[in-house]
Chain A
């Protein structure tokens, strides 16, 4: 496995080549459906559904032109903006609230920790469809339906137990000696959190941010339920306006817009994934 150690000189260079060829080969297989998707977005309307071929017979940019002509009453950028607002709000909410809760679960001792942790895990296990209506009633009581609040507020209240659990697991891999040293230096729990845990938690925070952004971006279901006004529609909601079972569907533009919708999250991932790498620096502290 870890070939990075084998830099002893003799056959280093072919090994790198082998690695690149291996990675590219696996990628080609895995990305085939993505390539198909992108290529389909350049097919004319009558080819989109009726052929399975990878390449369009008569490539066309019309699908993209149609998307930029506007979907619903608004331009495509309008929906991008709405999606961006919601996703950004969700990221801030999750990073803040989940790291606070995770520190408490992972490091502090308090009464009811076990049962509360157990309950938190249980909240991940209940299928969404059966709590949908009661939750809808609650947001309606708070007069929040048809606003972005039902999509953002829960993140600030740490309802995504997935991320709490993620961070708890990370915090527990951090050596306790660091906390103890900080405590000896006069830090209280808040100080330990700020000066020891948070900096070391960075890879997990970045992971949380990336996942929250992407999952919120793609979250069709909650957005469908809580947003009524087309002015507040997000990309996934605008996407389904292209399709209708009974009448004519615009599959070409739908593919074009799916591809466009991928770009921001793709770029987001590309931009932030290197901070995962920077996490390496933290391992120097151990030792």
Chain B
């Protein structure tokens, strides 16, 4: 099957494509000596770009023989362009990925195994092991966290005060799902907004719930780690909250994509929202600073929350200058000067020493994140691994099916079964 037997113009052209993909690496110059040019790409806003470029400038100053070309764009645009470049054989040397895409890219042999550099050119001893776990696929370190983040509930305190509900924010305080549901119901009943944005759409929060029950989304072998019954139970639980305005109505929920512009809080449809704490500065900018952060509820001893990389850095398998790229990666995550420049632009810094240094001077949204991370430090549990290939499709199908649930187009039980079926197809491919 593997042998391509068809010839002709089309075959030749595709052959040409793969050939150029194989031959033309990226950047210029030799890996041995002489000046080397690296291409480093990321997605993000203007602020992230400014500080990243400053850090890159500092790196070039210290390494005059390495020239770094930077490219950046918005999230969707970034992945569209990255796929095209990599497919066309013109991929960058150092790239930024997120949770779902680390697995997708590593599984398709786009990323270099960083294991051989670890401990040498790439220092990882100051990065917590649970963060490093997020960059591992099949036990190999393909990516290194560019920041750290944790699940959180962000809320508008005034709505909760008006409803006479206390949210556990102090270190050590926690709440159960029942308390959580009751609190949200009260807020929903008291005000014009729902207690919390319906969180059933994102597979990320289901993952937390699974961890609280000793399960996981994917097994270490990359198979599905949950059953239709478990998903149905989870969705049923949220369903009971929907009736009393504990969670937002379908029309609000369907817009959710994790972005600030569609957020239930920001559009004033709900009093709280589950998210990653790396998004706090975004909420502060679009909504205002009158927001607080609390941990997710749990019925178990486990909080189910984990330290996760909001973004990871990886080196291209086809890069001709892997060593230089690794050097830049190491600089970005470990150098104190770089840490100072980058601040919390990709969540709090992954390197614990640098995190302490950045958090000491943080203010506004970054301070809220630092405080929350510090308060929850003991509760942040064991690592979640990287997601396998096919997980992007699974994440999307999960949300699509949940849409059908909230618009009452399918029963929860049938929806859960469909998620499993679709997911198995996606993982099989």
Seen from chain A, the residues whose Cβ lies within 8 Å of a Cβ on chain B are 45-46, 48-51, 71-73, 132-134, 136-137, 140-141, 145, 220, 224-225, 228-230, 237, 240-251
Contact B69 A228 (CB under 8 A): yes
Q: Which of B74, B87, B90 contacts A244 (CB 8 A)?
A: B74
9 inter-chain pairs at a CB distance below 8 angstroms, sorted by A residue, are A133-B17, A136-B85, A224-B80, A229-B71, A243-B45, A246-B75, A247-B345, A249-B45, A251-B286
Complex alpha-carbon distance, A272 and B131, angstroms: 59
Contact A137 B88 (CB under 8 A): yes
Q: Which of B47, B77, B267 contacts A49 (CB 8 A)?
A: B267
Contacting residues, chain B, for A224 (C-beta < 8 A): 73, 77, 80-81
**Minimum-distance CB pairs A-B, first 9:** A244-B45, A248-B285, A240-B74, A245-B259, A136-B88, A245-B75, A248-B282, A133-B87, A137-B88
Contacting residues, chain A, for B47 (C-beta < 8 A): 247-248
Does B257 make an interface contact (CB < 8 A)? yes
CB neighbors of A among B23-74 (8 A)? 24, 39, 43-49, 53, 69-74
Given contacts A50-B286, A145-B90, contact A245 B46 (CB under 8 A): no
Contact A241 B17 (CB under 8 A): no
Complex alpha-carbon distance, A256 and B81, angstroms: 26
Contact B266 A247 (CB under 8 A): no
Given contacts A230-B71, A247-B45, A247-B47, 20 further A-B pairs with CB under 8 A are: A45-B285, A49-B261, A51-B268, A72-B49, A133-B87, A136-B84, A137-B17, A220-B77, A225-B80, A225-B84, A229-B69, A229-B71, A240-B73, A244-B43, A245-B259, A246-B310, A247-B44, A248-B45, A248-B285, A250-B46
CB neighbors of A among B278-322 (8 A)? 278-279, 281-282, 284-288, 310-311
Complex alpha-carbon distance, A57 and B237, angstroms: 40
Contacting residues, chain B, for A71 (C-beta < 8 A): 46
Complex alpha-carbon distance, A228 and B46, angstroms: 16
The number of chain B residues with a CB under 8 A from chain A is: 53
Contact A244 B288 (CB under 8 A): no
Does B89 make an interface contact (CB < 8 A)? yes
Contact A240 B77 (CB under 8 A): yes
Contact A248 B286 (CB under 8 A): yes
Complex alpha-carbon distance, A243 and B81, angstroms: 16
Q: CB-nearest residue of chain A relative to B41?
A: A228
Does B162 make an interface contact (CB < 8 A)? no
Given contacts A245-B75, A246-B278, A247-B279, contact A133 B44 (CB under 8 A): no
Contact B285 A249 (CB under 8 A): yes
Complex alpha-carbon distance, A28 and B53, angstroms: 46
Contact A250 B84 (CB under 8 A): no
Does B219 make an interface contact (CB < 8 A)? no
CB distance from A62 to the nearest CB of B (A): 13
CB distance from A12 to the nearest CB of B (A): 51
Contact B84 A132 (CB under 8 A): yes
Residue among A141, A220, A229, A244 having the largest count of chain B Cβ atoms under 10 Å: A244
Contacting residues, chain B, for A132 (C-beta < 8 A): 84
Q: CB-nearest residue of chain B relative to A71?
A: B46
Complex alpha-carbon distance, A37 and B284, angstroms: 23
Complex alpha-carbon distance, A133 and B80, angstroms: 11
CB distance from A220 to the nearest CB of B (A): 8
Contact A250 B45 (CB under 8 A): yes
Complex alpha-carbon distance, A244 and B257, angstroms: 12
Residue among A136, A237, A247 having the largest count of chain B Cβ atoms under 10 Å: A247
Complex alpha-carbon distance, A228 and B81, angstroms: 10
Contact B89 A140 (CB under 8 A): yes
Complex alpha-carbon distance, A230 and B70, angstroms: 9
Contacting residues, chain A, for B286 (C-beta < 8 A): 45-46, 48-50, 248-249, 251
Does B260 make an interface contact (CB < 8 A)? yes
Does B356 make an interface contact (CB < 8 A)? no
CB distance from B209 to the nearest CB of A (A): 22
Given contacts A46-B287, A134-B13, A140-B90, contact A242 B45 (CB under 8 A): yes
Does B16 make an interface contact (CB < 8 A)? yes
Contacting residues, chain B, for A230 (C-beta < 8 A): 70-72
Complex alpha-carbon distance, A259 and B72, angstroms: 23
